[in-house]
Structure 1
Amino acid sequence: MSEYHLDIFMHIPKTGGMTLNEIFKKQYKLSEIYDHDSFQKKMMNMDELTEVEKRNIKAITGHYFYGIHQEFSRPFNYFTMLRDPVDRVISSYYFLRDYPGYEMVKDMTLEEFVVKGPEAPNLQTLMVCGSQEIPDIEIAKENLKTFSVVGVTELFNETLFCLKKEYAWGDIHYTRKNITKNRLAKDEVPSDLINLIKKYNALDIELYDLAKQLLNDKLQSLTEDEQNQLKKFNLEQSL
């Protein structure tokens, strides 16, 4: 990608983004990346950045909704990672119960969280469409189609390989970060509750299906040599 483009990682909570974020940050100098409302390891709102600092920034990463590029007057590329909506909601519930600032979740059952919890119903659609209140699936789909790479958590290595190819990244080997422990697995959750999650995340399920299709299109276009490189990478990460 051109050095004049702004590379934006739209980090959707509980999609494996912490692991991906660590890899992403390794590709830039500290002065070139604005990371989760901080710059050069200091908490700083975007409007506090000087024009010189803004011009030097090559990458943005964080829990930002689509539209963050409007803070910069230059071409941009988005990439993101989506996750099976049922698994994402379950993981989010168990993670937020112990997370500072989300004390309300501690007193919620999983069922209550599904219906009215923060970051629960259709969050992925909400973020990708760029709305702070109402998820619009059609806008989300159109936005997602413009992303340079759309990954899915369940195909993390494949996503990472496509990102390396797209952005000419260096080392992409990793150790998993921010894994939610002490949570129910998807197959341990009662079927009626699974159905409730699907009901309240119907738009996210539709968007996730598109994400899988977009990633599959990228994988289908890999050359034979690239496919062999991907197999080697998968093997190395499994050791």
Structure 2
Amino acid sequence: MTSFSDFKRLPVEAYCNRLRASGGLWIFHHIPKTAGSSLTRELRIILPPYRNICAEEVPGQAEDRNAQLMQAVEVFLRDSSSTSFRSASGHLRWPHILRIQEGFPNAKLFTFLRDPVDRVVSDYRYAKTPKHPSHEVFQKRFPSLEHYIESPEAQNKMWKFLTGKKDAVSTSVRSVFDSYTFVGLLESIESDFLFFSSINGCPRRMGARANVTKPQTDNVVEMDRSLRERIESLNPRDMELYSTVKQVLDAKRQEMQAQVEARRALWS
């Protein structure tokens, strides 16, 4: 499988050529509050047929929801015998990813990250709104952002999604790079998605952001330096992962843009 490690070491043109020749299924691993709703909307357009692998969220029943997600994965695998899916996504955990890979050994995983501090704040703000099924329970447990960030469940969430590890001490960033075909960033989502779409045909610009959390009286956050530094200190693996991915993408920007321009010319 062509991986993000290959993206890092190969000329971008060679990396893209490998992917175009391989075809197959793209799986978007949707980490909460990383603009995933916007990305899935675009996947429906550029890589149909598309499947959203999801399960109803029941307050206080996270384990049941994981089991329901596995059932949804099984339905997806069953349906794939009659539908040649080109893309799928979901708030999947690592066991769900592994099960999909059993059915699609050549599936290409990709994901998008977000500045860890901004993602934690966004996660907290969303969970306080009625759109989050457990918002009343969440409000009682975490009356303030300061309470939330001290909870282990709020820490290093991107890392946990991408590795399946709670401590992840023995897992390296390189192992993530080897598992995923492409990793983009919300902060550069327009150019990163433009590049991703160029791999799969004609370059396409993203539409307006979807599912943006609306402000309300109890989810407004006043960020200051000490709070930012505290969140950073509580999320070292997310900080390391985000920083390393950003370095790789920044080093490849000119080559990525050249690929976009070349594909745009081809399709014009």
Instruction: Say yes or no: TM over 0.5.
Output: yes
Distance 2:122 2:170 in 1: 23
Equivalent-residue separation in structure 2 for 1:54 and 1:140 (angstroms): 34
Measured in 2, the distance between the counterparts of 1:117 and 1:101 equals 18
SS in 1 for 2:248: helix
Structure with greater proportional helix content: 2
Counterpart of 1:64 in structure 2: which amino acid?
L
Aligned mates of 1:217, 1:66 — CA distance in 2: 29
Q: State the SS of the aligned residue for 2:150.
A: helix
Letter of the structure 2 residue corresponding to residue 45 of structure 1: A
Name the structure 1 match of 2:175.
142
- Deviation (angstroms), 1:179: 1.1
Aligned positions of 1:1-239 closer than 5 A: 1=20, 5-29=24-48, 32-37=49-54, 45-49=72-76, 51=78, 53-54=80-81, 56-66=84-94, 68=97, 69-98=100-129, 99-107=132-140, 108=142, 109-116=144-151, 118=153, 120-131=154-165, 133-136=166-169, 138-168=171-201, 171-182=204-215, 184=220, 188-222=222-256, 224=258, 226=260
Structure 2 vs 1, CA of residues 166 and 146 (structure 1 numbering), >3 Å: closer, same or farther? farther
Q: What is the TM-score when the length of structure 1 is the normalising length?
A: 0.78
Structure 1 residue 125: deviation in Å? 0.7
Once the two structures are superposed, residues 130-175 of structure 1 have per-residue CA deviations (whole angstroms, 9 ceiling, x without a partner) of: 33x3335734542234433211111111111111122225643301
Q: 1:102 to 1:214 in 2, by over 3 A?
A: farther
Call closer, same or farther: CA 1:226–1:34 in 2, change over 3 Å. closer
Q: Please list every run of 5 or more consecutive structure 2 residues that lacks an aligned counterpart in the other structure.
A: 1-19, 56-68
Q: 1:70–1:117: structure 2 CA closer, same or farther, 3 Å change rule? A: same
Give the letter aligned to residue 33 of structure 1. Y
Task: Report the CA distance shift for 1:225/1:137 in structure 2 as closer, same or farther (over 3 A).
Answer: same
**Count of aligned positions:** 220
Contact 1:141 1:210 in 2 (8 A): no
Residue ranges of structure 1 left out of the alignment (5+ in a row): 231-239
Give percent identity, aligned residues only: 25
Distance 1:225 1:202, change over 3 A: closer
**Whole-Å separation in 1 of the counterparts to 2:162 and 2:223:** 27
1:195 deviates by: 2.0
Instruction: Specify the code of the residue in structure 2 equivalent to 1:123.
Output: K
Q: Residue 221 of structure 1 aligns to a residue in which SS? A: helix
Provide the alpha-carbon RMSD of the alignment: 2.9
Counterpart secondary structure, 1:173: coil
8 Å CA contact 2:52, 2:88 repeated in 1 = yes
Distance 2:175 2:24 in 1: 20
Deviation at 1:123, TM superposition (A): 0.5
Q: Name the CA shift for 1:154/1:74 in 2 (closer, same or farther; >3 Å).
A: same
Structure 2 length as normaliser, TM-score? 0.71
Aligned-pair CA distance for 1:212: 0.7
Residues 141 and 224 (structure 1), Cα distance of their counterparts in 2 relative to 1, 3 Å cut: closer
Shift of 1:189: 1.4
